[in-house]
Amino acid sequence: MATQPDDEAVHGRLLHVNYVAGDPAARGEIFLRYFEALKTHLHIYVRRKQLFLRGGDIDDVVEEAVIDALTSYFSRPAAYDPTRRGLLGYLKMSAEGDFKNRFTREVGREAGLESDFVELDDTGWNSVADGGIDPVDAIEDEQVAGALLARAETIVETEEERIVLRFMLERERSTAVYALALGITARTPKEQRAEVSRIKDRLTKRIRRGLLDESPD
Amino acid sequence: MDSDNIDPERVLSRPSSRREAERADRFSRTSAGARKVAVRLEDDPTTMAWVLARYREAEDADDALIAISLGIDQARIPHLALCSRPRDELFRSDIETIAEHIGMDPLALAEVVRRVDAVTGFGQRPRGHRGGILAAARDRAAEDPATYDPGGSPSSAAVSSPSSTDVPVVATPDDEDER
């Protein structure tokens, strides 16, 4: 069963929630789910723009750009705003940017190799000047937010889990806020952290298993 | 730590399916790419890439040997490296989560993490020392019997977790209170 675009928008956000919450497998799951999709996206972009390299392999540039995009997200997940777009759409946009940088550098290097100085071809061929964001990826609507909340309702089993998941979806990171909402401020900070971690761990496990039960494609 | 209570049956007894076969195929197809990302994570002690790099050094083992000792396809090693290192306070749960993601025996994984914990708790060994992790553990026990705790956890005073070593800790995406 293929994943529908709305499903993907929800799945991506849930994977992001898991990653930020500390799920130890989330980074691997995000890579496994999106690495090939991002490469395919850039290959289509390359074909559509009829880009090529004279000497180098453009597939290598594509792969490195995808790795740049994923690595950048992994090191700074807060740069992704799940209220604006799905994770896949964000990563596609990021990979396109990284591809353009690498490709432009590579074209310049090839031009330099051929003429002993670096000069970008400005006659129009091999141009990556446009914004390039697929408008379909940019579409965000209330349906996705609604689907995310509906999915969240199927994940929680207790009121405390509902509270914690709501804050996770809102990207709250302060234990004090969670502790206040859970009514556990009388406990020591260490106990508060442990309790919040336990609930987050239960939720991230349930999210991950739920996503695993659905086809990634 | 309660790694002894990890239930491998719970993790490994999931029925195989076409989806799992597809997942295995995806692990294999994306292994080279995962390796490139994993290399970039090897300096971050909160990652399994860091743990596996230390294990490689200490045991003088390559990925093929590590894969054999973990009982998994070599193509899954880079994917294992992408995971985060198990948190001390959720060690058992995190080990099970990672093992489930990779499709491996959680006990074997816990053993590797614990061995690296033991070695990194000892600080830098002299260059050229190739005694292996177990030999290093024996050295430590001989040097400092008062604080050596063979049954202890890495969070105990005797064996430091990576976050307490001299290696700079890279910020994780988790709780800002813990940064």
**Chain B partners of A21 at a C-beta cutoff of 8 Å?**
174
Q: Is residue B71 within 8 angstroms of chain A, CB to CB?
A: no
Q: Which residue has the higher pLDDT, A143 or B72?
A: B72
Q: Is residue A203 within 8 angstroms of chain B, CB to CB?
A: no
Q: Is residue A97 within 8 angstroms of chain B, CB to CB?
A: no
The shortest C-alpha distance from A116 to chain B (Å) reads: 32
Q: Which residue has the higher pLDDT, B89 or B8?
A: B89
- Look up the domain containing A80 and give its range: 5-138
CA-based max dimension of chain A: 72
B84, β-bridge pairs:
B47
A158, A132: one domain: no
* Chosen domain end from A138, A166, A188: A138
b/e burial code for range A151-179 (CB count within 10 A of at least 16 → b): bbeebbeeebbebbbebbbeebbebeebb
A197, A128: one domain: no
Partner-chain residue, chosen from A21, A23, A35, that has the shortest CB–CB distance to B33: A35
Q: Which residue has the higher pLDDT, B12 or A166?
A: A166
Of the pLDDT bands very low, low, confident and very high (cuts 50, 70, 90), residue A110 is confident
A88, A165: one domain: no
A111, A182: one domain: no
A187, A92: one domain: no
Q: Quick check: is A217 in a domain?
A: no
Average of pLDDT values for A132-145?
A: 53
Mean pLDDT of chain A: 82
A189, A88: one domain: no
A173, A129: one domain: no
A204, A186: one domain: yes
A51, A131: one domain: yes
* Chosen domain end from A84, A114, A138: A138
A197, A116: one domain: no
H/E element holding A35?
helix A26-49
The pLDDT score that the predictor gives to residue B147 is: 37
pLDDT in tens, B121-175: 744 443 444 444 444 444 444 444 333 333 334 333 333 333 333 333 334 444 4
The pLDDT score that the predictor gives to residue B9 is: 55
The pLDDT score that the predictor gives to residue B6 is: 63
Nearest CA in chain B to A196: B175
* Chosen domain end from A138, A171, A195: A138
Neighbour-count burial of B107, counting CB atoms closer than 10 A to its CB (0-12 exposed, 13-18 middle, 19+ buried):
middle
Number of domains chain A is built from: 2
Domain boundary assignment for chain B: 3-165
